Structure 1
Amino acid sequence: MKTDDKRGTPLPGAAPGAAPGADPDTPLLSVRGLRVRYRNAGRPFEAVAGLDLTVHAGETLGLVGESGCGKSTVARAVARIEDDVSGAIVFDGQDVTRARGRALKPYRRRVGMVFQDPIASLNPRRTVRDIIATPLTLAGKGDPAEVRARVGELAELVGLHPSMLERRPHEMSGGQCQRVSIARALACLPELLLCDEVVSALDVSIQAQVLNLLMDIRERQRLAMLFISHDLAVVRQLSDRVAVMYLGMLCEDAPVDELFGRPAHPYTRALLASVPGGAGPGAEPEPGSAGAGSGPAGVASADVAHRLLSGDLPSPLDPPSGCRFRTRCPLAQARCAAEVPQPVEVRPGHRVACHFPLVAA
């Protein structure tokens, strides 16, 4: 059913989200023990080392961390682009981790991806119309007339003028190319959209346009998103929950207001304190709050809040033993070198992988 209303009503054929009667507590995407391996000069190493994530229908999960921590690798693994992957990637109850070839086609129609570089991800020899139409053609979604009509609908959805459909990527701005990428990702009506640094290369004004577009599409189509970014302000604006990664492993996972208001991992606290213009949101807990506990050896959590990260991210070729953050952590103890911390729930829905979480006893 088509409508001129800009919000709240799905487009023709829009993804319906969870099926009637489906359990709302069952995640649309469940990633368990995800490991992704690469080789460097013949030497294998893990870019992602045992990650657990969930995304529910209609939910946006923000994934943050320093450059090189493995965020983009997670998205590529979920999209089934990476080859050397182990663990479990379960989508709508089906394990797709080891699916190959034709077995992956139904999954890829339900999962779209928007890549970080809006120009390099588009074929420079094809027109915008052809680029958006390609997923529809490959999926056999209608005859040429129906495909052409659907391309027009997608162009309107992402704010592209019809005249732009005959252009090629080099004739468009970065923001326009990112709109084309989003339209292509939405062509087959996905239920999950993987967004890998989709605004990092854009001007601030264009960033706002693309973010507003994503929020509008999410509301209209009940679209789930895995939103990867290093911009904490953008993540806070767009996400329902946030997961923090460090060197291929999960540090913390919590609802967005909980994580920004009461971060419990020293790395999360340091990231928030690194926001330009002063201590980041949630960097300094109020006295008596749950975030104002003490770490080992009497180190106050409030003191940790003002300790910015020092040193470089260790190499994934030779990660530290135990907790991978321990070489930069002000609370590190002998236990941190001996044991890998496992995620534990410190508050409802708030998981932290730390031997000394910054919460009150």
Structure 2
Amino acid sequence: MTLYLTIAVIVLVFVIIFQISKASEYVSVLKGEETSRKQNNKINGFLMVAFLILGLIGVWYCNHLFFHKTLFAYDAASVQGEKVDSMLWITIYVTGSVFIATQILLFWFAYKYQGNENRKVFYFPHNTNLELLWTVVPAIVLTVLVVIGLRNWFSFTGEAPKDAQVVEVTGKQFGWVFRYPGKDGQLGKKYYKNIDASTNELGLVWDDKLAQDDIVSTQALYVVKGKPVKLVIGSRDVIHDVGLTQFRMKMDAVPGIPTTMWFTPKYTTKEMKEISGNPNFVYEISCDQMCGNGHYSMRGIIEVVTQAEYDAWLAKQKPQYYTAFPDKDPSAVKPLADSVKPEITKAPMAIAQKVVAKI
């Protein structure tokens, strides 16, 4: 009963408001305010045209003022990113031209067809040809755009070239962990129950020989200019998203479900500093998926280097296995007692042999 009463009250309120508005309109006509309404109608028509002109000028000025701060000011930093830029420009040209044309017509019609007692209203309820035109043409254009996008998507997420560098990227709250294969060129197994914050962030399976030479880093993602790089992407906790803005690439990082994408860098970090004119330029890897209260700080750095620079960097890195088991590191300095002891034990034996020889 309460529900019906509430609905009745709401309907009654709307009816009262409608009646008051109609009554006000009739009162205005009787008072001779119709002339004022016509004048306001003309003023509004001219304001529509003025707003259209000023709006177009404002859009052009803002583009002129801030274009250099957008991604389009510089070429994509990857070969695949060029295709993304091309796709975006096509989309902007198509949708932008339609948007500008419809807005011009919208404001112009508001001026041209303003209220006029000498003009009779023309009703245009239906036209099959026009409806087919504005349904079929947009459908065809949008289908072409979707096909271009899908083609690029399948290319980026498909099989990478055989000589591609492989790097595993793992997101966590709130940072990135990078893993590179060792001399065997293959990434070892991992198991989430093996995760240890200090010695095994990724949960590598140490019994797996392939994992014992894997290199783990949280500092930066190193890739080589001109060489395809395949990213094996995952997450240690919640859903993240690998956003490579300058390379025009991105991919979700989902817990338990590895995703992949690949691209070929075009410019080293040093070259991009010169191209952008920014001596502090760095390639960034960001999280493009809201992942918690520290999401804003989830920012990593990508270093694009030459092959020689990458080889020199890789040679300095130590496999994570030796961090977990430092006693097995062949490059570690052994205790002094261990190195001296054999010499001490050998000395008496050498002396005894000399004495026996003289006798």
Q: Which TM-score applies when normalising by structure 1?
A: 0.21
Structure with more of its chain in strand, by fraction: 1
Structure with more of its chain in helix, by fraction: 2
Q: Which TM-score applies when normalising by structure 2?
A: 0.21
